Structure 1
Amino acid sequence: MNAQNPKLGINTGILLEAGTNEAEILVFEVGGQTFGVNVAKVKEVLGITKVTALPQGHPSIEGVVRIRQEVVTLIHLGRFLYGDAEEVASQDSDCLLLLEFNQRPLAFRVNRVHRIYRVSWKATRPLPITPGMAAPITSVVLIDGKLVQILDFESIGADVAGISEEASNSSGVSRIDAPNIPIVFAEDSRMISEMISDHLQEAGFTNFHGFVDGQAAWEYLEALAEDETVETIREKVGILITDIEMPRMDGFSLAKHVRMHPVLGTLPIVIFSSLVSRDNEKKGAQVGVDTQVPKPRYAELVEKTRQLVGLSELVEA
């Protein structure tokens, strides 16, 4: 039975089960181009009323808006993506997407909201890597005959509003030796992938492999397990860290595949995602995830990783 989400004002459908490798994507327009965002990241879709300008801010920050009792930074998404091009000027029909990152709300001006589509992550593809290109896009998917680009809102928020700076600068993680413990992580955001690598390295880990989607990580793990046993697999991979939403295979499906594998089944699994919530904690439990850490809490990610690979005693000593 479908349910109406009063905050979005759009039919969001049923709550997706864990491991179905599906997502609900809100499709919208900016500057005549079609983009998408996972509905789970969107708190509300609202009209835009009074905007209070801020002096000497990032050129993409339009100002602040009041949403009930909160004052929220408003990012002009068209200006961020295309600069001051005439076709992305503010319009009377514009609306506001209210998203939240680590309990910090951010608002984004878009030109038009279409509707929500239920899609399989199998249908999405990572953005091809092109030298010199740093587009804030994690993947693309064909919906109703249109190529929809899934935006990397975490990277945009970090670039424009510094949403990850506080978590990064205050990590306070001490360095200890991690005797070549192999770590596999799956993360489609290039910026966050680099941050994970940096924090693991600063904490003393030296052996880690990152992948841009769950399918690539799964193929790597499956190949590793071919000539191993439950007793020896930890020499090849000690822990899996994974995002939830990724092209081709999401984190819950990846965890489900790992738990069902006869050799990989006991591998520790950490979800590291901006989508950590009560509902997703329940979904993680359904597929056997050991713990979930909200982005961008890198220090907590390092600590949970240490605990699950048996290094927490060294930290306490």
Structure 2
Amino acid sequence: MQTIQQEIDERTNLTSSNKLELLLFRLGEDPGLDRNELFGINVFKIREIIPMPTITAVAGSPPHMMGVVDLRGQILPVIDLPAVAGCTPKTGLNILLITEYARSTQAFAVESVEDIVRLDWRQVLSAEGNGASGMVTSIARLDGENSDRLAQVLDVETILRQVMPSTELEIDPDTIGPHVDLKPGTVILAADDSLIARTMIEQGLEAMGLPYIMCKTGKEAWDQLQAFSAKAQDEGKTVHDRVALVLTDLEMPEMDGFTLTRNIKQDPRFSAIPVVIHSSLTGSTNEAHVKKVGADAYVAKFVAEDLANALRQALSTVH
């Protein structure tokens, strides 16, 4: 346990080109397969790992909410992650993963923690359309391209909204403000690997009257940008006649948002396009990395008004 915690502390600053650190853990047996599969979560989301403490049950808690824990004076909700995933732990719920995500802190109960692995995002493939549940955004090949050792990367956004749904109106036109007029023919190019995040982003862009093209990965967005540039060149135009702004998540299969932003800002064809990063990876360390790769703005998920304000500000600099 101490070794894993030390590794998290030492590796949190990882921003190598298109790489991530994945914490691997187990939730128990899947009743349909009778197998104990590996799951993963980005180390950037992990604040600490602790042995299972005493949990206080809370009256009227939603399903899969075990209760709360008092962690050094901070009361945190505890989510039964095996129950959410439909798994049965054989040795019990032994570990709490304390996570910081999208302006909130919560604890996930798991059966065991296995390891931390360093991967290239190219080893992480989108799970959409491959029979995965909505709680899994991607599948990580742990030992390279031909590996049969896989880990399911969980969609924390979806899990939190299932267990603790927001009672507030997600998109309020009164707080979003008036529509924004783009240069005719241009769009917002957006990328996010989470289905629920894409849905919320789309609702926000539509409330602002902004036309958009939505991508599921950074690589898909980069390929789309290349295609826009080629078509514009054939028409005697530039990519700026096609793309007004790029809005990107950070954690995405194949190519992460750091790499996508770096690619855009280092390419003379695209460098003047504003890039807004919209991520659940909050904190001063990540904000410093965002500035380092040249992003024009950083917005923590998910407050529609904050996103709208950041987009307006970034678009106001476009000439």
The counterpart of 2:192, out of the listed 167, 183, 187, is 187
Deviates more, 1:213-222 or 1:273-282: 273-282
* TM-score w.r.t. length of structure 2: 0.86
Please name the residue that 2:294 is paired with: 288
Q: Secondary structure at the match of 1:228?
A: helix
Letter in 1 for 2:25: F
Letter in 2 for 1:26: L
Distance 1:21 1:165 in 2: 36
- Whether contact under 8 Å (1:127, 1:137) holds in the other structure is yes
In structure 1, runs of 5+ residues without a counterpart are: 313-317
- Whether contact under 8 Å (1:18, 1:286) holds in the other structure is no
Please name the residue that 2:31 is paired with: none
Identical positions, percent: 28
Deviation, structure 1 residue 10: 3.8
Distance 1:294 1:177, change over 3 A: closer
* TM-score w.r.t. length of structure 1: 0.87
Please name the residue that 1:110 is paired with: 110
Total equivalences in the alignment: 301
- What are the superposed Cα offsets for residues 107-150 of structure 1, whole Å, 9 maximum, x if unpaired? 1110000111111001110003268x642111111225521011
Deviation, structure 1 residue 19: 5.8
The answer as to 2:54 corresponding to 1:50 is yes
Deviates more, 1:41-50 or 1:136-145: 136-145
Distance 1:24 1:166 in 2: 33
Letter in 1 for 2:258: F
Deviation, structure 1 residue 243: 0.6
Distance 1:71 1:14, change over 3 A: closer
The answer as to 2:152 corresponding to 1:149 is yes
- Whether contact under 8 Å (1:19, 1:256) holds in the other structure is no
Distance 2:3 2:203 in 1: 37
Map 1:1-317 → 2, pairs under 5 A: 9-12=5-8, 13-14=10-11, 16=13, 18=15, 20-31=17-28, 32-82=36-86, 87-88=88-89, 91=92, 94-129=94-129, 134-144=133-143, 145-162=148-165, 166=168, 168=170, 172-179=175-182, 181-205=186-210, 207-228=211-232, 232-310=238-316
- Whether contact under 8 Å (1:213, 1:250) holds in the other structure is yes
Deviates more, 1:142-151 or 1:165-174: 165-174
In structure 2, runs of 5+ residues without a counterpart are: 29-35
Letter in 1 for 2:274: P
Distance 1:107 1:70 in 2: 11
Q: Secondary structure at the match of 1:238?
A: strand
Distance 1:90 1:74, change over 3 A: farther
Deviation, structure 1 residue 106: 0.9
Distance 1:55 1:30 in 2: 25
Q: Secondary structure at the match of 2:44?
A: helix
Alpha-carbon RMSD across the aligned residues, in angstroms, is 2.6
Distance 1:51 1:10 in 2: 25
- Whether contact under 8 Å (2:277, 2:299) holds in the other structure is yes
Please name the residue that 1:315 is paired with: none
